């Protein structure tokens, strides 16, 4: 299992997901791509803590785990 960070610069969020989460799907999101108009996927990370370190370095207003897969 790995972890990914969705860096949403448009909403000021960095959300950590497990790779198998329906919102993540190995960093391709539901649109099948790593980049979108609202943000991009960063990863994979082998540990949840590694994903949080990256997320914190992005200085977004909201940094949290996905409410579905990585609270």
**Is the pTM above the cut of 0.85?**
yes
Name the E strands within 1-71: 3-8, 13-18, 40-45, 62-65
- Domain extents in the chain: 3-65
* Nearest residue to 39 (alpha-carbon basis) of 66, 3, 5, 16: 5
Residue 10: the pLDDT is 85
**pLDDT above 60 for 7:** yes
Give percent above pLDDT 90 in the chain. Answer: 61
The answer for residues whose C-beta is within 8 angstroms of residue 53's C-beta and 6 or more apart is none
Query: What average pLDDT score do residues 8-23 get?
Result: 91
Q: Residue 36's pLDDT is what?
A: 61
Q: What is the pLDDT of residues 35-58, one digit of tens each?
A: 566 788 999 999 999 999 999 999
Query: Is residue 18 helix, strand or coil?
Result: strand
């Amino acid at each position: 299992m790995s972890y990914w960070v969705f860096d949403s610069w448009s909403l000021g969020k960095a959300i950590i997901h497990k790779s198998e989460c329906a919102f993540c799907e190995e960093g391709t999101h539901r649109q099948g791509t790593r980049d979108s108009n609202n943000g991009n996927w960063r990863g994979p990370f082998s540990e949840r803590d590694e994903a949080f370190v990256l997320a914190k370095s992005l200085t977004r207003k909201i940094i949290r785990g996905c409410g579905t897969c990585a609270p």
